[in-house]
Amino acid sequence: MKTLKGPGVFLAQFATDEAPFDTLDGLAGWAAAKGFKGVQIPAWDTRLIDLQSAADSQTYCDDLTGRLAEHNLEITELASHLIGQLVAVHPAHDQIMDSFAPSHLRGKPQARREWAEAQMHNLARASRNLGIDRHVTFSGSLLWPYLYPYPQWPEGLIDEAFDELAARWRPILDAFDDQGVDLCYEIHPSEDLHDGLSFETFLEKVNNHPRCNILYDPSHFVLQALDYLEFIDHYHDRIRMFHVKDAEFRPNGKTGAYGGYQPWIKRAGRFRSLGDGQVDFGAVFSKLAGYDFDGWAVLEWECCLKHPEDGAEEGAAFIEKHIIRVAERAFDDFVKSGADKAANRAMLGLNRKE
């Protein structure tokens, strides 16, 4: 069995325009002081990484990893959620999604999509140059406005959307395969890949592509009332990345899973700092260890109540505490007898003469 790596931290929620959070070196010093051993870098944040240089220059990548090594940190993975989202955008979301693209592409959905696809190819090369074998993104969504089937979906709508989604992502999956990198979709509400069955539908459409994998984040399943432990049993062979994020779901007589258009503080389903929500992380870490998950346990901090500094400091210690250093031998080896076929047959009564 393998021991999970960690704790790591996703830098997206902590990067700001104020020092030390406005540069990779500043964030690295901060993360190391909190007790983290790895950082997951948001590839869209130009304050932290020059993606084109990372894709084209091994020297740039060596310098980047060297600077982090000075803080005893590794890059866990690159993340491209805001870029991947732009590969598939329903027209209803065009205006709001424009904020994820460079300003010169706003109002130009086709050019925006082509830019996003080119960036995904860059990310495959950048991951290889950085010595990383997995990457996380969002699938984007063509179907989310039609999530609830009323009026009923017209025949063929779902297949048409997944056929198109697969056609857009298949060349990108092939590019990642060329670089020896797994592409992990974060299974997430607002994405077409939002639960196990939607992932299965997509996986079938891309012909079970070997690089089509999953980032597992139990918080999104708590908010959907989905069994986040059984999910691991179903999909452990495709789970290649892990966001450690907590959540709570407390429906009442006024609101439930859909949230009533309320801010996070008033929703029935809310993200919380590690240990403050309802996720059974002892069981999650045990499941992943039992299935030989060999990736990083990365804090994605989101909480509607707690200060981020406290969430980060507590989160590093929380993950450290939950990582199971797996055993190298069985606990009862001391009473184990050697292999002896004749003895085994005798114990089963198979050597008796009638």
Question: pLDDT (tens digit, 9 = 90+) per residue, 140-189?
Answer: 999 999 999 999 999 999 999 999 999 999 999 999 999 999 999 999 99
Judged against a pLDDT cut of 70, whether residue 354 lies above it is answered with no
Q: What is the DSSP letter of 3?
A: P
pLDDT in tens, 12-69: 999 999 999 999 999 999 999 999 999 999 999 999 999 999 999 999 999 999 999 9
% of residues, the chain, pLDDT over 70: 98
**Residue 79, CA atoms < 13 Å, CB-side half-sphere:** 24
For residue 185, list its beta bridge partners: 137, 214
At 109-131, the pLDDT tens digits run 999 999 999 999 999 999 999 99
pLDDT tens-digit map of 53-112:
999 999 999 999 999 999 999 999 999 999 999 999 999 999 999 999 999 999 999 999
Helix (H) or strand (E) holding 271, with range, is strand 269-272
Q: Provide the H-helix boundaries in the chain.
A: 24-34, 51-56, 58-69, 81-84, 94-97, 109-129, 157-178, 196-205, 218-222, 228-235, 281-290, 308-322, 341-347
- Is the pLDDT at 330 greater than 80, yes or no? no
Per-residue confidence (pLDDT) for residue 328, from 0 to 100: 75
Q: DSSP character for 152? A: P
Do 71 and 39 meet the contact criterion of CB atoms below 8 Å apart?
A: no
CA–CA distances in Å: residue 152 to residues 145, 156, 165, 189, 234: 13, 12, 21, 20, 29
Average pLDDT of every residue of the chain: 96
- Burial class from Cβ neighbours inside 10 Å (0-12, 13-18, 19+) for residue 341 reads exposed
Question: In terms of CATH architecture, what is 5-347?
Answer: Alpha-Beta Barrel (3.20)
pLDDT at 262 over 80: yes
CA angle, 70 as apex, 46 and 136 as ends, to 5°? Answer: 45
